[in-house]
Structure 1
Amino acid sequence: MNKKILYLDMDGVVADFEKRIGELEPSLINFKDHPDQEVLSNKIDQICYANPDIFHDLPPIEGAIEAVGKLAEQYEIFFLSTAMWSLPQSFTGKRIWIEDHFGNLGRKRLILSHRKDLLKGDFLVDDRTKNGASEFEGEHIHFGTSKFPDWDSVYAYLCSKV
């Protein structure tokens, strides 16, 4: 039996980038609600440049590690993330994070791309619509929305699609 392909974004889906940013800059707690996304993006970039190893030590999103482990029994899982082009440490940091949190499950399963729509697969769990997520040919599961607010809802939905 061929398993369906499931792509998982990292930041905001399995790794809690927002929480780490809030720890480094308390004024940016709950930054997704920030009224000026361009200003926010510049602030986040500056925090990352000042903390180039930030991607090494992000806390996991609640329930993500367990849910992904169970889903790996039913799906062919790949981690699909966008690294910061101007911060080369982000590429390495994401690779280290996957190994630290997923071990062999993540081995050679990290794809870094600014064009998620170019990949073929059945599902993409992503908290954003940028970098091709909204144009992904499979089903985009928009993590953090009212339909998919957490890993319990994503897990239940994906289990119903096997």
Structure 2
Amino acid sequence: MKIVYIDMDDTLCDYKSAFQQARRLRPDIEYPQSQPSFFINLSPLPNAIDAMQFFLADERYDPYILTAPSVKNPLCYTEKRLWVEEHLGFAYAERLIISPVKGL
């Protein structure tokens, strides 16, 4: 079985569009990702959810989500976890790795 690490922001969910929209709506906020509900409200990218279900069902792969937190938003850890459960189910919540240093 091959371990696969999948990033979250701009791989599973549309971080870039949400960031740009937040900057347009509130240009006074330098770090929109620091606002509550930023991460929980990210939209899934097209086909991302289907691809993740494929990886989970295929016995050749052992998939994990590896994502870095926004250190400017302590709610980020919880919101990313809740996003994963909402969009991918509890099986992936158990496969979520949140680390500021992905090379570990």
TMscore range, shorter length: 0.7 to 0.9
C-alpha RMSD of matched pairs (Å): 2.0
Match of 1:64 among 39, 48, 51: 48
Point out the structure with max Rg over C-alpha.
Answer: 1
Counterpart in 1 of 2:16?
18
The separation in 2 between residues aligned to 1:69 and 1:94, in whole angstroms, is 18
TM-score (norm 2): 0.84
- Runs of 4 or more above 4 Å deviation: none
Residue-by-residue CA offset, 1:71-130 (whole Å, 9 max, x unaligned): 212211111000012311111110010011001331311111122112xxxxxxxxxxxx
Indicate the structure with greater helix content. 1
Query: Residue 8 in 1 paired to residue 14 in 2?
Result: no
Structure 2: which 5+ runs fail to align? none
Structure 1: which 5+ runs fail to align? 28-42, 119-162
TM-score (norm 1): 0.56
Are the aligned partners of 2:81 and 2:93 in contact in 1 as well (CA < 8 Å)? no
Question: Where in structure 2 are the equivalents of 1:109-148 lying within 5 Å?
Answer: 109-118=95-104
Shift of residue 24 of structure 1? Answer: 1.9
Aligned residues: 100
